[in-house]
Amino acid sequence: MGKRKAYLVLAAALVLMVVCAACSAPSAEQEPEPTSSELAAALSNGRPTLAGFVTQTCACKDIRPALQELTAEYQGRLNVTVIEYTDQKDVFAQHQVVLAPTLVFFDSGGEEVDREDRRLLDREEIVDRLNALGLV
């Protein structure tokens, strides 16, 4: 039964990639995404980090404004990074992210403490999660 589950996970990941590729075109307004070394730097600078793993799909576009607001609101206290699948597939693989959007919460030591990949959180829910985890 373990092989069947692995095949289902692989099939879901492939479907996600196909949907993401077909769903949208890159936006000219899009900010440059951090490189994997930027995420590594964020995880090692002694501040908690919220990493948003996204694609160009509609749900991911909906979460980007919240992440931008949190970047400004918690500047100097919380690192907020946005990892775009198209540009950084290796970072998705390194952190075992198979669904997008996925939010990964890291403590000040760079260790993952929580993850949300089942549903889209709005800004208030993200702030509540950060507070509940003691990250801000």
Contacts of 17 (CB under 8 A, 6+ apart): 85
Contacts of 18 (CB under 8 A, 6+ apart): none
Measured CA angle at 82 (ends 58, 94), to 5 deg: 105
CA distance 20 to 8: 18
The ranges assigned to domains in the chain are 2-24+32-132
CA distance 37 to 39: 5
* Nearest by Cα to 51 from 126, 134, 124, 128: 126
How many CB atoms lie under 10 A from the CB of residue 91? Answer: 23
Percentage of residues in the chain having pLDDT higher than 70: 76
Beta bridge partner(s), residue 51: 81, 104
Architecture of domain 2-24+32-132: 3-Layer(aba) Sandwich (3.40)
Q: Is the pTM here over 0.85, yes or no?
A: no
Residue 30 has a pLDDT of: 47
Tens of pLDDT, residue by residue over 34-49, are 556 788 989 999 999 9
